């Protein structure tokens, strides 16, 4: 079987490299299946405390591989909802629910679902030469892989509509300036920067980080009252974690904490 | 180890379904153990409310299919299960389900039978019997439609699809949703608050609420007034009102 996803686990970090460089790492069904398989491991294995997603070659991900859909202009209309339901939606949900940080290291062009996938990760670090292309509208499609939910939240409504309707392309620098991503890195530094951050996360109180992530995601639809209740509940859970006790003990003893992620 | 773990804290009894190897499938033995425990709790003045809960990832994932497969028409006709369910249903004190993970089939029917449902955010509820060529047989079709209404009840029973805790909350099947790690704790807090109220008042109120499912409003209102009047003869009613007026906590005796 072709290795469409390179999966490497080291020092608490699972690095997933989208690996169809000759097709700018665009998704086909087999690649989705391999990615799903790796995610299952990331979900089950407590020793994995951070997920890092990047692309092989010069691109990050060009979204859905159009060749793979075999659209026959004269044939029956394809059911694009099928691949959204079967592959993209579960992927977005699983990354959002994963109770550990997910970093996207965007090494080159991220287009279509590749762009919305990257922007949906918890932390996005992009190489200066990278770009985000909302290519959907040019084919008559809508931004999927969480795009329509995500864009107004990361870019604001005006920019989201502008980007999505024009099918526009923005540079990594522009995305950073607009606050759509966490960090811009020089091309040569992208890998080192992202791996360093991932390894740093892998030594942190993972359980607490997972609760922070879930709380911020819940805030997208909660009222203030609901969110205050949720903060009470999550803080109650966080206060019972071994890492919280270790954090306090280390602070009082003026030493470096040794977090177990639990 | 027994498939049913009982644990009492104050006036609250917690019954934990514990057949992890069978995802808490409710076989006759477990169901009987549950009915026995509730019968004992009904007669124990030290118990004010009961919580039924399961495991972190499943409440109860259905009936025991092996047990069911071995029963043909004749055995099913004379099945002891309806009588066991009836015993559980006639428990007169507040009965609370604290649900994490899957509550499917008979597990969901057990939840529907309880007075109050507290769910973890990982809970899901469903009646997948239809996918096995059968149908709910312990109240699923009757209690679900009275709980969530026609649209969702038909949707669930005919498709066999499960719903999330959030959907169950919106539909009125569930009273509260909490992070799964806090479900049992919050259920116990609520149960303790309930169990602190006057036992006879709780019993009468539960009876009135139950009766609302059996009768028309006029009959129900009559029944409610009768129960209300009965409470007027209790010591606890005098104590409850006196304590309120004297701004002190009441001391109930169950009389």
Pick the residue from chain A with its C-alpha nearest to B181. Answer: A237
Helices within A18-83 (DSSP H only): 29-44, 80-83
Q: What tokens appear for A190 in the block?
A: 């992208």
- Chain B contact present for A85, CB below 8 A: no
Note whether A234 contacts B178, CB cutoff 8 Å.
no
CA distance A181 to A197: 15
CA distance A63 to A113: 4
| Contacts A232 to B, Cβ<8 Å | none
Helices within A187-223 (DSSP H only): 190-201, 206-219
CA distance B151 to B161: 13
User: Which one of B166, B170, B179, B183 makes the best mutation probe of the A interface by having the most chain A beta carbons within 10 Å?
Assistant: B179
Ranges of residues in chain B whose predicted pLDDT is under 70: 1
Question: Who contacts B205 (Cβ-Cβ below 8 Å, separation ≥6)?
Answer: B227
pLDDT computed for residue B68 by the predictor: 85
The H or E element that residue A125 is part of is strand A123-127
Pairing of the two strands B102-104 and B58-60: parallel
- Chain B contact present for A234, CB below 8 A: yes
Please report the residues numbered 178 through 197 in chain B whose beta carbons come closer than 8 angstroms to any beta carbon of chain A: 178-179, 181-182
User: Which one of A236, A238, A240 makes the best mutation probe of the B interface by having the most chain B beta carbons within 10 Å?
Assistant: A236
CA distance B188 to B13: 9
Beta-ladder partners of B53:
B16, B98
3-state SS assignment for residue B177: strand
| Contacts B178 to A, Cβ<8 Å | 233
Pick the residue from chain B with its C-alpha nearest to A97. Answer: B122
B57-105 pLDDT per residue, tens: 999 998 888 888 888 898 888 889 999 999 999 999 999 999 999 999 9
Pairing of the two strands B102-104 and A13-18: unpaired
User: Which one of A208, A210, A218, A237 makes the best mutation probe of the B interface by having the most chain B beta carbons within 10 Å?
Assistant: A237
Note whether A237 contacts B178, CB cutoff 8 Å.
no
- Within chain B, strands assigned E span 4-9, 12-17, 49-53, 58-60, 95-99, 102-104, 116-120, 124-126, 163-164, 176-178
Estimate the share of chain A in helix, then strand, then coil, as percent rounded to the nearest 5: 50, 15, 30
CA distance A103 to A204: 15
pLDDT computed for residue A106 by the predictor: 98
CA distance B214 to A175: 62
Give the DSSP letter of residue A53. Answer: E
The H or E element that residue A147 is part of is helix A147-155
Question: Who contacts B88 (Cβ-Cβ below 8 Å, separation ≥6)?
Answer: B31, B34, B35, B38, B110, B113
Which of B101, B60, B112, B110 lies closest to B183, judged by CA? B101
- Chain B contact present for A254, CB below 8 A: no
CA distance A102 to B193: 42
pLDDT computed for residue B2 by the predictor: 86
3-state SS assignment for residue A104: strand
A206-219 helix and A242-252 helix, angle to the nearest 10 degrees: 110
Alpha-carbon separation of residue A152 from A62, A116, A146, A155, A219 (angstroms):
21, 12, 11, 5, 15
pLDDT computed for residue B149 by the predictor: 96
Pairing of the two strands B163-164 and B124-126: antiparallel
Ranges of residues in chain A whose predicted pLDDT is under 70: 68-71
A162 neighbors A151 (Cβ within 8 angstroms):
no
Residue that is written with structure tokens 């806090």 in the block: B182
Q: What is the pTM of this model?
A: 0.89
B30, with CB counted inside 10 A (0-12, 13-18, 19+), is buried
CA–CA–CA angle A237, A238, A244 (5° rounding): 140
A104-134 pLDDT per residue, tens: 999 999 999 999 999 999 999 999 999 999 9
CA distance B34 to B51: 11
């Amino acid at each position: 079987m072709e290795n469409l996803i390179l999966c490497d686990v080291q020092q608490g970090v699972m690095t997933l490299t989208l690996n169809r460089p000759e097709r700018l790492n665009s998704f086909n069904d087999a690649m989705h299946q391999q990615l799903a398989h790796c995610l299952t491991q990331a979900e089950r294995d407590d020793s994995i405390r951070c997920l890092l997603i990047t692309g092989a070659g010069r691109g990050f991900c060009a979204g859905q591989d159009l060749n793979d859909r075999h659209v026959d202009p004269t044939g029956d209309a394809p059911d694009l909802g099928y691949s959204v339901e079967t592959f993209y939606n579960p992927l977005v949900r699983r990354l959002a629910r994963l109770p550990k940080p997910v970093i996207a290291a965007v090494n080159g062009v991220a287009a279509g679902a590749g762009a919305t996938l990257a922007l949906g990760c918890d932390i996005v670090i992009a190489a200066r030469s990278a770009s985000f292309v909302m290519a959907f509208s040019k084919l008559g499609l809508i931004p999927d892989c969480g795009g329509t939910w995500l864009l107004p939240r990361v870019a604001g409504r005006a920019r989201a509509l502008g980007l999505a309707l024009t099918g526009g392309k923005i540079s990594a620098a522009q995305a950073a300036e607009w606050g759509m991503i966490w960090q811009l890195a020089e091309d040569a530094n992208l890998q080192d920067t992202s791996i360093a951050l991932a390894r740093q996360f892998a030594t942190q109180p993972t359980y607490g980080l997972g609760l922070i992530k879930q709380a911020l995601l819940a805030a997208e639809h909660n009222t203030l009252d609901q969110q205050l209740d949720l903060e009470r509940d999550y803080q109650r859970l966080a206060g019972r974690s071994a890492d919280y006790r270790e954090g306090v003990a280390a602070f009082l003893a003026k030493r470096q904490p040794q977090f177990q992620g639990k | 180890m027994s498939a049913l773990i009982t644990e009492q804290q104050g006036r609250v009894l917690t019954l934990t379904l514990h057949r992890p190897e069978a995802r808490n499938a409710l076989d006759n033995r477990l169901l009987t153990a549950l009915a026995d425990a509730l019968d004992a709790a009904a007669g124990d003045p030290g118990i004010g409310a009961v919580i039924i809960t399961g495991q972190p990832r499943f409440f109860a994932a259905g009936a025991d299919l092996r047990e069911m497969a071995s029963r043909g028409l004749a055995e099913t006709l004379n099945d002891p299960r309806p009588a066991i369910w009836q015993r559980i249903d006639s428990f007169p004190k507040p009965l609370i389900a604290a649900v994490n993970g899957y509550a499917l089939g008979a597990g969901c029917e057990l939840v529907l039978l309880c007075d109050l449902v507290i769910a973890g955010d990982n809970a899901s509820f469903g009646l997948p019997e239809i996918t096995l060529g059968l149908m709910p047989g312990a109240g699923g079709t009757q209690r679900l439609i009275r709980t969530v209404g026609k649209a969702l009840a038909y949707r669930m029973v005919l498709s066999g699809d499960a719903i999330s805790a959030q959907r169950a909350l919106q539909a009125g099947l569930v009273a509260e949703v909490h992070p799964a790690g806090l479900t049992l704790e919050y259920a116990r807090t609520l149960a303790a608050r309930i169990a602190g109220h006057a036992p006879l008042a709780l019993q009468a109120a539960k009876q009135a609420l139950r009766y609302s499912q059996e009768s028309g409003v006029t009959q129900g209102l009559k029944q409610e007034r009768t129960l209300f009047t009965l409470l007027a003869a209790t010591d606890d009613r005098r104590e409850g009102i006196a304590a309120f007026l004297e701004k002190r906590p009441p001391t109930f005796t169950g009389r």
